Amino acid sequence: MASTSAHSSRLGILTGIGVGPGDPDLLTLKALKCLQKADVVAFPQGRHGQPGLAQRIIAPHLEQQQQLPLAFPYVLDQDQLSQAWQQAGDRVWQCLSQGQSVVFACEGDLSFYGTFNYLALNLERRHPEVTIERVPGICSPMAAVSALGLPLTVQSDKLVVLPALYTLADLDGALAWADVVVLLKVGSVYDQVWQRLEQRQLLDQSWVVVNATQPSQRIYRPLTPYPHLDLPYFSLMVIRSGANPLP
């Protein structure tokens, strides 16, 4: 939590909540209470005019709260991203400075590559008097292995999670060290990853979960028949490369 001053008592509080991977029933009770008490509920703006995932998850629980969609572009250009984070911070600060409480809904868990982190860091840097609270949520690897009916780790398993922007060298290093490897947003590199897994004879110990816990959830296992898959954004792969047997 950021440091506070006497002035902060007149400010609204920003609360980030992790709203889970897609199923609205996986929203925690604490996150639900925060939503119900909020003056303003912010969330990442969806693409192409459609509601984003976080907005769809919390929609059943919204009543009279003011809704504040914030634009976070799907680009890698750091200047564009910094500008978007600053603009989002300005909009949230306008509410906070008027004494309104703001809840920001972030899909998955806040601390697990969550969009909320960029907003919070921007506000803390420019407005050190801001008060920020955080409520954890269920992240996608936990949801995916539950859909698979598998544990994520057992016994002494070592776990590596690689985000979307990894190289095949990163994957080779992870497979050499870890017993379980999770690849997030695997769609853009799936074909190359499949070839690596075939070389290592790991296709029968690898699974792909698409849109975990959502109505559109799909599971691919084993991966041997699927050298090519056209996967959407929320797709991840679980690879069990270690020797520890499953229970």
| Final residue belonging to a domain, choices 102, 135, 168 | 135
Ranges 150-159, 197-206, 235-244: which has the least confidence: 235-244
Query: Does some domain include residue 10?
Result: yes
With a CB cutoff of 8 Å and minimum separation 6, the contacts of 9 are: none
The confidence score (pLDDT) of residue 165 equals 66
Query: Residue 145 class from Cβ within 10 Å (0-12 exposed, 13-18 middle, 19+ buried)?
Result: buried
Q: Is residue 245 part of a domain?
A: no
The Cα 94–Cα 217 span in angstroms is 38
Hey, how many other C-beta atoms are within 10 angstroms of the C-beta on 91? 17
Buried b (16+ CB within 10 A) or exposed e, 24-46: bebbbeebbebbeebbbbbbbbe
Q: Tell which of 135, 151, 180 closes a domain.
A: 135
- Domain presence at residue 1: no
For residues 175 and 97, membership in a common domain is answered with no
The answer to whether position 247 is within a domain reads: no
Would you call 189 helix, strand, or coil by DSSP? helix
The answer to whether residues 97 and 26 belong to one domain is: yes
Using pLDDT thresholds of 50, 70 and 90, give the confidence band for residue 75.
Answer: low
What's the average model confidence in pLDDT over 86-95?
Answer: 96
Total count of domains within the chain: 2
What is the model's pLDDT at position 48? 81
Cis bond leading into 222, ω under 30°? yes
Query: In percent, how much of the chain has pLDDT > 70?
Result: 92
CATH code at position 78: 3.40.1010.10
Least confident piece of the model among 9-23, 62-76, 149-163: 62-76
Last residue of a domain, one of 135, 152, 184: 135
Residues 144 and 127 in one domain: no
Mean pLDDT of 17-26: 96
Check whether residue 103 and residue 24 sit in a common domain.
yes
Note the pTM of the prediction, 2 decimals: 0.88
CATH value at residue 213: 3.30.950.10
**11 and 126 fall within a common domain:** yes
Q: pLDDT per residue over 205-238, tens digit each?
A: 999 999 999 999 999 999 999 999 999 989 999 9
Is it the case that residue 4 has pLDDT exceeding 60?
no
155 with 83, same domain? no
Residues contacting residue 139 through CB under 8 Å, at least 6 positions apart: 18, 21, 108, 109, 112
Domain enclosing residue 212, as ranges: 140-240
- The pLDDT tens digits for 168-186 are 889 999 999 999 999 999 9
**Short-list 161, 19, 42, 52, CA closest to 90:** 42
230 in the same domain as 169? yes
Q: If 0-12 CB within 10 Å is exposed, 13-18 middle and 19+ buried, where does residue 104 land?
A: buried
- So what's the pLDDT on residue 5? 40
Which pLDDT score is estimated for 20? 97
Band (3; pLDDT cuts 50, 70, 90):
very low
Residues 21 and 116 grouped into a single domain: yes
pLDDT score of 79: 79
Residues 120 and 162 in one domain: no
Q: Where is 124: in which H helix or E strand?
A: helix 116-126
